[in-house]
């Protein structure tokens, strides 16, 4: 295959060094638009295309790699041990208060300490995450360290670099050296997704976003950290490059340096304004996409802060106002069982629907048998539900004073709730019960849902309802059966709500899924620990499933992002006859189990050079390039007189202008597609 960036063989190819620098600038700009302003200008797909282009340049020209290149976020050497680093300025913690009186007391002490009548404050949300200290030297991020004991923390730079809202180089030209502190945290949505996957894979759930964040920062496998999407909010700046007089000014400066600052930073002229802010966020906190555990109040003037100083690791110029957990009571109508993808059986509370923190709650997991026994739950009880640190509402207690005579004790059933009723077992030393029935339709349902899901094979028309119907009708008894549904057309049309048109759509969706790339297929198989990110890494390191399955533990862990547990899990698959059989069936059905270069379709574009620019809707940039190369054409990165066609997608910019200037023919996506189909 022709290399896109082989400058020696093609005078029209862009200069890789210049293009790499340009791409880095573009990516940084789009990061700021996305994370700081919440206003992306390009789609995720277009962003990925820029990113991939840079990855490719750096792969071909490793000498062009820079320490602050965004590609360096994806994970580096495995971390052996986290070195201890000393904080030049200690990382303090905050004194807590819980009542209005305590807030007013604080204000009184501050005013007395300073000998003034009123003091200006800044209020911020107290993000519930992990404190982080970042060091920048000559504009480049050189260190990320946890708080530790306040004096010394752990060097977690490799993982910190994967956080996309942390600039690898500062956007400011005046401030080049700085210590920036803030909170690393996780969006509730990300947390829920990760826990959902943990559930499906039969792994332990994480207690709350903060624990998961802390665990992620201590990951030895930085590719895992990258896959977990952490966020960063900056709230403290120390720099020799500029004299800063107020905290509000620090926040503005941080923003100019390229950081995301708190979503609700407010300057308050007096303590009354502070109380208003506290009340406002007490009622609005459940509308935030992340968790806060309170409000932080800081004296605004830095001179005042210095005058007040600190006592025993807590500054006298700031405090945290802590909110209470959100609670409600309701009736426990029943306890049912849920069966996960790997056979873990979990009790679930079926609740009288009730409103908690803005959403209606009708179910809550009860985790396992012991949890139910420890609470001593009876069906019919009045239970307390709480939305605390772990985002998911949970049953946190029972009001036994309201127990009625009809309340019935519950014990863990010893058979699977599915119609096959297989016996369950609880391994010694574990809290979970498992269903080992390889034919269990409930497990199958979860596996199928994962396989067909949007992030996996993305099979249009094969949603939860369809899967249920097909299992019941005996049309799906394994994942492989999906690919024989085409021969069961007549049976499908017999089913409720399956008009011939919807069947066509489903079958087309199934057919299209055969083109899903190898990395996605790998993810879809639902191998333990093989999430989307890991699947991509594996597909790159082992370009075919046969190579992957033949790999030894050492070969697997030699891939620097792959840790021992992932390797074990792959080896389990290699030794599992039913997993091997499934792979063979899917291979026979035509799924992609290799990550090959595109096959040659024709030589129709021989001698022609294409430049694809702007955003395409029906294919990615990479797919367009592959399609061009598959027809013997060349896909170039910049427009010159020798360019045959410029393919301009939506919001095409400078390349389109250049084409018009040089009189190079410009075609739109539709014309490009029809050109492809006739070539
Ligand atoms: S200021 C001396 N601001 O809360 C100033 N902290 O116990 C110290 N936190 O360790 C921190 N959001 O992890 C500050 N807007 C915010 C914060 C915040 C969360 C955390 C931070 C700190 C702890 C204080």
Q: Which atom of ligand 1 is nearest to the CA of 128?
A: 19
Distance CA(541)–CA(222), nearest Å, equals 16
pLDDT tens-digit map of 145-204: 999 888 899 999 989 999 999 999 999 999 999 999 999 999 988 988 888 777 666 567
619: left (phi over 0), alpha (psi -120 to 50) or beta: beta
Distance CA(552)–CA(571), nearest Å, equals 8
Distance CA(73)–CA(35), nearest Å, equals 16
Looking at the structure of the chain, the number of domains it has is 6
322, 342, 362 — which closes off a domain? 322
Tell me which residue has its CA closest to atom 5 in ligand 1: 92
Query: What tokens were used for 349?
Result: 């509370």
Residue 357 sits in which domain range? Answer: 328-415
Q: Is 292 in the pocket of ligand 1 (CB under 6 A)?
A: no
Tell me which residue has its CA closest to atom 21 in ligand 1: 131
Centroid of ligand 1 to alpha carbon of 146 (angstroms):
13
pLDDT tens-digit map of 544-567: 999 999 999 999 988 867 888 889
pLDDT classification of 13: cutoffs 50, 70, 90: low
- Pairing relation of β-strands 318-322 and 292-299? antiparallel
Domain co-membership, 306 together with 334: no
Domain co-membership, 626 together with 531: no
Give residue 202's pLDDT.
59
415, 449, 465 — which closes off a domain? 415
Instruction: Specify if 79 maps to a domain.
Output: no
Pocket test for ligand 1, best of 96, 125, 126 (most atoms within 8 A of CB): 126
Instruction: Specify if 33 maps to a domain.
Output: yes
Query: What tokens were used for 617?
Result: 């809707």
Q: What CATH code is carried by the domain that includes residue 290? A: 3.30.470.30
Instruction: Specify if 582 maps to a domain.
Output: yes
Q: Which atom of ligand 1 is nearest to the CA of 92?
A: 2
Question: Has residue 81 got a pLDDT over 80?
Answer: no
Q: Which residues contact 641 (CB under 8 A, 6 or more apart)?
A: 662, 664
pLDDT classification of 444: cutoffs 50, 70, 90: very high
Q: Is 675 in the pocket of ligand 1 (CB under 6 A)?
A: no
Q: Give burial (CB, 10 Å; 0-12/13-18/19+) of 218.
A: middle
Strand partners, 237: 180
Whole-number percent of the chain with pLDDT over 70: 94
What does the CA dihedral 198, 200, 203, 207 come to, rounded to 10 degrees?
40
State the helix-helix crossing angle for 188-200 and 209-217, rounded to 10 degrees: 80
> Which residue is associated with the tokens 């030794």?
575
Residue 671 belongs to what H/E stretch? helix 669-677
Query: pTM of this prediction?
Result: 0.57
Domain co-membership, 543 together with 636: no
Question: Has residue 533 got a pLDDT over 80?
Answer: no
Distance CA(149)–CA(227), nearest Å, equals 28
Give residue 573's pLDDT.
93
Q: Give burial (CB, 10 Å; 0-12/13-18/19+) of 55.
A: middle
Domain co-membership, 185 together with 311: yes
Question: Has residue 207 got a pLDDT over 80?
Answer: no
Q: Which residues contact 445 (CB under 8 A, 6 or more apart)?
A: 464, 467, 468, 471
Question: Cβ(442)–Cβ(416) under 8 Å?
Answer: yes
Question: Cβ(202)–Cβ(340) under 8 Å?
Answer: yes
Residue burial 201-211, b: 16+ Cβ < 10 Å; e: rest: bebebbebbbe
pLDDT tens-digit map of 125-150: 999 999 999 999 999 999 999 998 88
Tell me which residue has its CA closest to atom 13 in ligand 1: 131
Pocket test for ligand 1, best of 94, 124, 129, 321 (most atoms within 8 A of CB): 94
Domain co-membership, 154 together with 248: yes
Distance CA(171)–CA(277), nearest Å, equals 31
Distance CA(219)–CA(160), nearest Å, equals 11
Instruction: Specify if 290 maps to a domain.
Output: yes
Centroid of ligand 1 to alpha carbon of 96 (angstroms):
11
Q: Is 634 in the pocket of ligand 1 (CB under 6 A)?
A: no
Residue burial 629-651, b: 16+ Cβ < 10 Å; e: rest: bbbbbbbbbbbbeebebbbbbee
Residue 23 belongs to what H/E stretch? helix 16-31
Q: Is 529 in the pocket of ligand 1 (CB under 6 A)?
A: no
493, 513, 533 — which closes off a domain? 513
SS3 label, residue 328: strand
Tell me which residue of 93, 82, 84, 13 sits closest to 53, measured CA to CA.
Answer: 13
Q: Is 58 in the pocket of ligand 1 (CB under 6 A)?
A: no
Which of 298-307, 317-326, 574-583 shows the lowest mean pLDDT across its residues?
Answer: 317-326
SS3 label, residue 26: helix
Higher pLDDT, 606 or 583: 583
To 5 degrees, how large is the angle CA 455–CA 456–CA 461? 90
Strand partners, 346: 338
Residue burial 5-41, b: 16+ Cβ < 10 Å; e: rest: bebeebebbbebeebbebbbebbbebbbebbbeeeee
Instruction: Specify if 202 maps to a domain.
Output: yes
Instruction: Specify if 25 maps to a domain.
Output: yes
Domain co-membership, 500 together with 619: no
Q: Is 106 in the pocket of ligand 1 (CB under 6 A)?
A: no
Distance CA(137)–CA(65), nearest Å, equals 19
Centroid of ligand 1 to alpha carbon of 204 (angstroms):
29
Instruction: Specify if 603 maps to a domain.
Output: no
Tell me which residue has its CA closest to atom 11 in ligand 1: 93
pLDDT tens-digit map of 345-403: 999 999 998 877 656 788 999 999 999 999 999 999 999 998 766 667 889 999 999 99
Q: Which residues contact 161 (CB under 8 A, 6 or more apart)?
A: 72, 73, 76, 141, 144, 168, 222
Q: What CATH code is carried by the domain that includes residue 551? A: 1.10.150.20
Centroid of ligand 1 to alpha carbon of 180 (angstroms):
12
Domain co-membership, 633 together with 565: no
Domain co-membership, 207 together with 117: yes
pLDDT tens-digit map of 493-504: 999 889 999 999
Q: What CATH code is carried by the domain that includes residue 628? A: 3.40.50.10190
Centroid of ligand 1 to alpha carbon of 126 (angstroms):
6
Q: Is 232 in the pocket of ligand 1 (CB under 6 A)?
A: no
Q: Which residues are catalytic?
A: 126
Number of residues that make up the chain: 679
Mean per-residue pLDDT for 299-314? 91
Q: Which atom of ligand 1 is nearest to the CA of 262?
A: 15
Domain co-membership, 372 together with 318: no
Query: What tokens were used for 513?
Result: 């899924």
Pocket test for ligand 1, best of 90, 93, 144, 285 (most atoms within 8 A of CB): 93
Strand partners, 292: 127
Give residue 390's pLDDT.
61
Tell me which residue has its CA closest to atom 9 in ligand 1: 126
Domain co-membership, 160 together with 130: yes
Query: What tokens were used for 573?
Result: 């698959």
Domain co-membership, 557 together with 647: no
Q: Is 92 in the pocket of ligand 1 (CB under 6 A)?
A: yes
Instruction: Specify if 197 maps to a domain.
Output: yes
Domain co-membership, 494 together with 544: no
């Amino acid at each position: 295959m022709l290399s896109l960036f082989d400058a020696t063989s093609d005078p029209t190819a862009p200069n890789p060094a210049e293009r790499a620098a340009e791409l880095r600038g573009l990516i940084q700009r789009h990061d700021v638009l996305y994370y700081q302003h919440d206003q992306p200008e390009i789609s995720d797909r277009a962003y990925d295309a820029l990113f991939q282009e840079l990855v490719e340049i750096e792969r071909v020209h490793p000498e062009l790699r820079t320490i602050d290149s965004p590609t360096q976020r994806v994970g580096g050497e495995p971390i052996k041990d986290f070195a201890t680093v000393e904080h030049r300025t200690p990382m303090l913690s905050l004194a807590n208060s819980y009542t209005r009186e305590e807030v007013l007391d604080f204000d009184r002490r501050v005013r007395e300490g300073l000998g003034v009548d009123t003091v200006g404050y800044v209020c911020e949300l107290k993000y519930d995450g992990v404190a982080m200290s970042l060091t920048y030297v000559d504009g480049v991020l050189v260190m990320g360290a946890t708080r530790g004991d306040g004096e010394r923390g752990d060097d977690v730079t490799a993982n910190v670099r994967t956080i996309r809202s942390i600039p690898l180089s500062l956007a400011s030209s005046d401030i080049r050296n700085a210590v920036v502190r803030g909170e690393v945290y996780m969006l509730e949505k990300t947390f829920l997704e990760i826990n959902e996957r943990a559930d499906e894979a039969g792994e332990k759930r994480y207690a709350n976003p903060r624990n998961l964040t802390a665990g992620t920062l201590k990951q030895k496998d930085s590719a895992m950290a990258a896959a977990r999407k952490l966020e960063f909010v900056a709230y403290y700046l120390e720099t020799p490059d500029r004299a800063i007089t107020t905290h509000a000014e620090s926040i503005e400066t941080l923003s100019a340096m390229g950081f995301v600052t708190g979503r609700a930073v407010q300057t308050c002229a007096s303590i009354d304004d502070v109380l208003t802010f506290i009340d406002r966020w007490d009622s609005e906190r459940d509308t935030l996409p992340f968790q806060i555990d309170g409000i932080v109040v800081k004296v605004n003037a830095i001179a005042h802060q210095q005058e007040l100083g600190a006592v025993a690791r807590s500054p006298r110029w700031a405090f945290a106002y802590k909110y209470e957990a959100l609670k409600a009571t309701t009736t426990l109508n029943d306890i049912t069982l849920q069966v996960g993808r790997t056979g873990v059986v979990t009790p679930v509370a079926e609740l009288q629907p009730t409103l908690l923190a803005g959403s209606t709650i009708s179910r809550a997991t009860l985790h396992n048998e012991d949890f139910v026994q420890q609470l001593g739950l009876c069906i019919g009880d009045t239970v307390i539900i709480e939305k605390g640190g772990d985002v998911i509402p949970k049953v946190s207690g029972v009001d036994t004073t309201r127990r009625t005579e009809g309340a019935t004790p519950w014990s863990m059933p010893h058979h699977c709730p599915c119609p096959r009723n297989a016996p369950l077992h609880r391994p010694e030393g574990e809290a979970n019960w498992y269903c080992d029935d390889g034919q269990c339709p409930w497990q199958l349902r979860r596996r199928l849902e994962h396989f067909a899901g949007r992030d996996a094979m993305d099979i249009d028309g094969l949603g939860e309802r369809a899967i249920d119907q097909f299992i019941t009708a005996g049309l799906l008894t394994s994942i492989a059966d999906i690919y024989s549904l085409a021969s069961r057309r007549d049976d499908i049309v017999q089913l409720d709500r399956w008009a011939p048109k919807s069947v066509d759509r489903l079958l087309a969706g199934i057919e299209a899924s055969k083109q899903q790339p190898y990395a996605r297929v790998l993810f879809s198989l639902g191998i333990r620990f093989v999430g989307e990110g890991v699947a991509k890494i594996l597909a790159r390191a082992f370009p075919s499933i046969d190579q992957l399955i033949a790999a030894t533990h050492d070969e697997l862990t030699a891939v620097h992002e792959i840790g021992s547990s992932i390797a074990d899990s792959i080896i389990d698959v290699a030794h599992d006859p039913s997993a091997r059989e499934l792979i063979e069936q899917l291979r026979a059905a035509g799924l992609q189990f290799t990550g090959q270069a595109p096959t040659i379709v024709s030589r129709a574009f021989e001698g022609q050079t294409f430049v694809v620019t702007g955003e395409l809707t029906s294919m990615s940039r990479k797919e367009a390039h592959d399609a061009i190369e598959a027809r013997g054409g060349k896909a170039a990165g910049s427009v010159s007189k020798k360019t045959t066609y410029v393919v301009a997608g939506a919001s095409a910019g400078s390349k389109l202008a250049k084409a018009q200037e040089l009189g190079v023919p410009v075609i739109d996506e539709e014309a490009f597609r029809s050109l492809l189909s006739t070539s």
